[in-house]
Amino acid sequence: MTNQQQKNRVIIIVIFAMTIIPFLIAWGLKEHPDWVKGTNNKGQLIIPPVTTEWSEFAGFDAFSAKNIHELPGHWLIVNVIPQTQCNAVCLDALLKTKQLRLMLNKELSRTRRIVMVLQAPDSAAANLWWLKDSVLWRLRRNENPADAALFQSLLKEENGLDDALVDRLIAGDNREFALNSDLIRIKPNALLAAKLGQIRQGAIPDGMLFLIDPLGNIMMQYEPGFNAYQVRDDLMHLLKISQIG
Q: Write down the pLDDT at residue 16.
A: 62
* Domain with 125 in it: 3-241
Q: Write down the pLDDT at residue 28.
A: 63
Could you read off the pLDDT of 185-198 as tens digits, one per residue?
Answer: 999 999 999 999 99
Helix, strand, coil abundance in the chain, percent, nearest 5: 55, 15, 30
For residue 137, give the nearest of 104, 170, 185 by alpha carbon.
170
Q: Write down the pLDDT at residue 8.
A: 62
Q: What angle do CA 80, 176, 154 make, to 5 degrees?
A: 45
For residue 206, give the nearest of 110, 89, 45, 118 by alpha carbon.
89
pLDDT score of 206 more than 50 = yes
Give 202's pLDDT tier (boundaries 50, 70, 90).
confident
Cα 7 to chain centroid, rounded: 36
Mean pLDDT, the chain, rounded, equals 88
C-beta neighbour count of 207 within 10 angstroms: 24
d(CA 160, CA 155): 9
Which CATH number is 195's domain given? 3.40.30.10
Q: Is the pTM of this model over 0.85?
A: no
> Looking at residue 45, what DSSP letter applies?
E
Could you read off the pLDDT of 21-76 as tens digits, one per residue?
Answer: 665 665 565 555 555 444 444 789 999 999 999 999 999 999 999 999 999 999 99
Per-residue DSSP letters for 91-158?
HHHHHHHHHHHHTTGGGGGGEEEEEEE-S---HHHHHHHHHHHHHTHHHHT---HHHHHHHHHHTSTT
Measured N-to-C along each axis, helices 123-135 and 163-170 cross at an angle, to the nearest 10 degrees, of 20
Task: Let me know: does 114 contact 79? Beta carbons within 8 Å.
Answer: yes
User: Which of residues 238 and 42 earns the better pLDDT score?
Assistant: 238
Tally the domains of the chain.
Answer: 1
Q: Write down the pLDDT at residue 143.
A: 74
Could you read off the pLDDT of 156-185 as tens digits, one per residue?
Answer: 999 999 999 999 999 888 888 889 889 999
Q: Write down the pLDDT at residue 140.
A: 80
Strands 209-212 and 217-222: antiparallel
Measured N-to-C along each axis, helices 88-102 and 123-135 cross at an angle, to the nearest 10 degrees, of 40
Share of the chain above pLDDT 90, in %: 70
Least confident of 35-44, 93-102, 111-120: 35-44
pLDDT score of 239 more than 60 = yes
> Looking at residue 21, what DSSP letter applies?
H
| DSSP bridge partners of 58 | 187
Q: Write down the pLDDT at residue 243.
A: 76
User: Which of residues 29 and 111 earns the better pLDDT score?
Assistant: 111
No. of H helices and E strands in the chain?
Answer: 10, 7
